[in-house]
Amino acid sequence: MTADAPFSDILEDPVRGVALDPAIYVELKDRDLAKEEQRQAAYVSAMRRLAHRVLVFAVPNGARRTRWEANKAKREGLYTGFPDTGACWTGVTAYIEFKDGSSMPNQSQIETLNRLHAMGHPVAVCRTAVGAMRWLREQGAPVPEVRQ
């Protein structure tokens, strides 16, 4: 973390690094064996079907790449730790990092989520399409009410 980072109120632990800001929503862990990619795909599919006034996009940071492709992606603006998806509606862009039922964000993801949160963007760690859609609705997104 640099001295000019806009989130100096976040506590740093020299052994574990930076902690996720407690104001960032984290959906509870679950026992569903679905992988992160399956969960994210279900969310994108549901949003595109049900929430037409929200632009949903993916950020393919975790794709498998050769060394050459990875270097090219970094030159083109790949940002390590950037959330998996974004959602835009009038005047707002929110970011969601998807995780499977038991994982938590790594250090670069935590730092980026904290930074986005400190910049005023709604940020969350979600595990399910329903959880992500409910969270977006709470942020003011024009998303219909959904049930499990």
pLDDT tens digits for range 63-112: 666 888 878 878 888 888 999 999 999 999 999 999 999 999 999 999 99
As a whole number of angstroms, the distance between CA 90 and CA 82 comes to: 22
* In-domain check, residue 100: yes
Name the pLDDT band for 2 (thresholds 50, 70, 90). very low
Asked whether residue 9 is domain-assigned, the answer is no
User: What global pTM score does this model have?
Assistant: 0.84
3, pLDDT greater than 60 = no
Does residue 28 belong to any structural domain of this protein? yes
CATH number at residue 58: 3.40.1350.10
Give the number of domains in the chain. Answer: 1
Kindly state whether residue 7 falls inside one of the protein's structural domains: no
**Domain assignment of residue 18, yes or no:** no
- Is residue 146 in a domain? no
Residue 144 structure tokens:
């219909």
Full residue range of the structural domain in which residue 77 is found: 23-138
C-alpha span between 57 and 82 (Å, rounded): 13
Contact 124, 25 (CB under 8 A): yes
Q: What is the pLDDT of residues 102-145, one digit of tens each?
A: 999 999 999 999 999 999 999 999 999 999 999 999 999 999 99
**For the segment 37-58, what is each residue's pLDDT rounded down to a tens digit?**
999 999 999 999 999 999 999 9
108 found inside a domain:
yes
Query: If you write DSSP's letter for every residue of 7-59 in order, what string do you get?
Result: -TTS-EETTTEEPPPTTSEEPPP------HHHHHHHHHHHHHHH-TTSEEEE-
pLDDT for the residue 54: 98
pLDDT tens sequence across 13-31:
444 578 999 999 999 999 9
- Output the CA–CA distances (angstroms, integers) from residue 93 to 28, 62, 112, in the order listed: 23, 21, 15
Q: Residue 51 in contact with residue 141, Cβ under 8 Å?
A: yes
Which pLDDT value is given to residue 62? Answer: 64
